[in-house]
Amino acid sequence: MLSLFHTLDVQLREAMQRAFPDAKIELNPQLAPASKPEFGDFQANGALSLAKLLKQAPHRIAAAIVNQLQDDASFNAICLKPQIAGPGFINLTVSPDRLAAELAARLGTERLGVPTVDSAAPIVVDFSSPNIAKEMHVGHLRSTIIGDSLARVLEFRGYPVLRLNHLGDWGTQFGMLINQLKQIAPKALETADAVDLGDLVAFYREAKRRFDEDEDFRNKSRNEVVKLQSGDPVSLNAWSLLCDQSRREFQKVYDRLDIRLNERGESFYNPYLPAVIDDLRSANLLVTDDGAQCVFLSDVTGKGGNPPPMIVQKRDGGFNYATTDLAAIRYRFASAPNGDAARRVIYVTDVGQANHFAGVFQVATRAGWIPEGARLEHVPFGLVQGEDGKKLKTRSGDTVRLSDLLDEAVGRAEDDLRSRLKEEKRDETEEFVTQVASTVGLAAVKYADLSQNRLTNYQFSFDRMLAMQGNTAPYLLYTLVRIAGIARKAEKERGSQPASVSLQLSEPQEWALARELLKFDNVIIEVEEELLPNRLCGYLFELSQVFNRFYDQVPVLKAKPAGFASRLALCRHTADTLQCGLGLLGIPALERM
């Protein structure tokens, strides 16, 4: 089923084709939601961009399109008479009867009007990707929750999604880690059982210090890399112990944040690295430069100049990070059973890796690994900053551990809740306090990040993210709690309401809420296409504001019988939409807080 927006988009394109049948260009109506209520529900702005191409005035182009629309019975069944504004904008207003019918068709439904796609090809979302023997820190926050939210949206749309955690579990750093392990905990290598290696972060730092300062340690570490890559059983056991302990620590954070991931680290692609070299050689892309195998890139920044070549095999025959990424792309697009057979692959990493991925994507494309029509996308994001505008760090200058940040968010949420309960003289159980504080604290952290345009840096502030007013998770959760309270009171005072309700919309606030609710499907499709979760956050905030204005200005519980059921249905549909939207952000709902 097409959404109302996409139905109108199709009708406009067909009207433009009828109006200009000889046009040799794509006729795009540039349909968008109206920027202001007085402009109707939608605006078609395509006439302005077509003026030069069609060598006609924008107003004349708009008039020709409108004439075709007015002769279209299917269009007239949806919209009132279209209006031309300014130099050539076409304003479209959905008829009240159609608005009410569209909303009534969504009441009580699981999908809330969001259509599903019919796709068997999986979408790969590569996100989080911490490194073994390093603790997850605030830098992993954005990749983890942005990637999770995008995966949730794509899954909701009906795509098979492969959520991949590309762990940094291979490479030269493991030489020093294995060497360190053999020297300080040799007995750990004598058993196949899980072993607690203590603080892995401290373990990594000490190994790195010795590698930098001790030449003998450094040489032995390099030998350990060779042993590991050649399959030495003792080295592999040491590597496995390091990976297992890191994996357990990572999973604690993922469980807390309700993140689902399929682990597929760099080591998975190790057997496929020689095939990458063979393919690049067959495509005449490899150039030997100072003994290394390289691919020379064209400019990937758009700024001109000659970018450095991409080394895919070092002089000593070893491979590097870029080679592994190329092997991953090759595998993910390859047909099953020797690949994922994906047709869209999405990488969620910080903006600092933009040039790296631009180069890797360029090589993969030139090698012919990307099927026709497939999409390979980098989803970059900015830094998490402190309130001073600098990179978020502890007072001692260390990177903030992600678990510590989450602990503080929950602790502050609990303090706020206990203070409010005392002020309101409410007596709640400790179980209630713990559950609400955890939900609100974690939701605040997630929403504060997701509500920002991911392309920019943002300043992390507990006070702002935990505020009950403004574009915050607590405000949205409070709106849900408010609606849950309305429903409980309505059932107590008026009994259960029938599942089937005839909508009766008469007040301007009711129509405003109905129009806002009907935007949900298009917002989800926009996020699917543009991979910007802040679009969904902005919509949920606006919906909450529109609902609260509706409830403050229009009686629901005291409404006359004729309008009561209809207004209660609006409340419930608002709650369903908020709960679904928050769920797609990885935020659970609350009925009381």
Question: Over the stretch 160-179, which tens digit does the pLDDT of each residue have?
Answer: 999 999 999 988 889 999 99
Q: Are 531 and 379 in contact (CB under 8 A)?
A: yes
Q: Verify that 283 and 379 share a domain, yes or no.
A: yes
Domain-embedded: residue 589: no
Report phi then psi at 399, rounded to 5. -70, 140
* 157 plus 272 within the same structural domain: yes
pLDDT grade for 300, boundaries at 50, 70 and 90: low
Q: Do residues 82 and 229 both lie within one domain? A: no
Based on DSSP, count helices (H) and strands (E) in the chain, helices before strands: 21, 14
For residues 174 and 222, what is the distance between their CA atoms, to the nearest angstrom? 9
Q: Determine the Cα–Cα distance for residues 122 and 336; give it in Å rounded to an integer.
A: 11
Same domain for 297 and 376? yes
Q: Is residue 309 part of a domain?
A: yes
In-domain check, residue 320: yes
Mean pLDDT of the chain: 93
Which of 181-220 are b and which e, b meaning 16 or more Cβ less than 10 Å from the residue's Cβ?
bbeebeebbeeeeebebeebbebbeebeebbeeeeebeeb
Length in residues, the chain? 593
Residue keyed to tokens 């939409």: 577
Last residue of a domain, one of 258, 278, 311: 258
- Quick one: 200 and 89 in the same domain? no
Whether residues 87 and 204 share a domain: the answer is no
Quote the DSSP letter at residue 373.
Answer: T
Same domain, 275 and 368: yes
Is residue 218 included in any domain, yes or no? Answer: yes
DSSP letters spanning 92-130: E-B-HHHHHHHHHHHTT-SSTTPPPP---S-EEEE----
What's the pLDDT score for residue 508?
95
Is 133 within the bounds of a domain?
yes
> How do residues 51-98 score in pLDDT, each as one tens digit?
988 999 999 999 999 999 999 999 999 999 999 999 999 999 999 999
Task: Output the domain CATH number for residue 15.
Answer: 3.30.1360.70
Q: What are the structure tokens assigned to 134, written together?
A: 């390093």
Average pLDDT over residues 459-485: 97
Residue 560 inside a domain? The answer is no
Q: Distance (Å, rounded) from C-alpha 229 to C-alpha 204?
A: 20
Comparing 136-140, 401-405, 514-518, the range with the smallest average pLDDT is 136-140
Residue 392 is predicted with a pLDDT of 84
Given the DSSP bridges, would you call strands 262-263 and 375-381 parallel, antiparallel or unpaired?
Answer: unpaired
Domain boundary among 353, 384, 415: 384
| pLDDT band, residue 157 (cuts 50/70/90) | very high
Same domain, 251 and 342: no
pTM of the model: 0.93
Domain count, the chain: 3
For every residue of 137-151, DSSP letters joined together read BTHHHHHHHHHHHHH
Give me the phi and psi of 518, to 5 degrees please.
Answer: -75, -5
Q: Which domain holds residue 315?
A: 123-165+266-384
Q: What is the pLDDT of residue 161?
A: 98
DSSP notation for 220-235: HHHHHHHHHHTT-HHH
**H or E, element range at 518:** none
Residues 148 and 82 in one domain: no
Residue 193 confidence (pLDDT): 55
In this structure, the answer to whether residues 296 and 160 fall within a common structural domain is yes
Q: Tell me the two tokens of residue 256.
A: 């807390």
Contact 371, 170 (CB under 8 A): no
Q: What's the maximum distance between 2 C-alpha atoms anywhere in the chain?
A: 86
Instruction: Work out the average pLDDT over 243-268.
Output: 95
Domain-ending residue, one of 202, 233, 258: 258
pLDDT at position 316, please? Answer: 82
User: Over the stretch 303-352, which tens digit does the pLDDT of each residue have?
Assistant: 667 788 999 999 888 888 999 999 999 999 999 888 999 999 999 999 99
Please state which of the ranges 86-90, 136-140, 196-200, 225-229 shows the lowest mean pLDDT: 196-200
Q: Are residues 272 and 210 in the same domain?
A: no
Q: Does 195 score more than 80 pLDDT?
A: no
Task: For residue 236, tell me if it sits in a domain.
Answer: yes
Q: Are residues 287 and 364 in the same domain?
A: yes
The pLDDT of residue 513 is above 80: yes
Residue 387: per-residue pLDDT? 85
Q: What percent of the chain has pLDDT over 90?
A: 77
If you average pLDDT over residues 449-467, what whole number do you get?
95
The answer to whether residue 72 is domain-embedded is yes
Starting at the edge strand found earlier in the chain, the sheet holding 42-44 runs 31-33, 42-44, 89-92, 83-85
Residue 86 or 396, more confident: 86
CATH (domain of 362)? 3.40.50.620
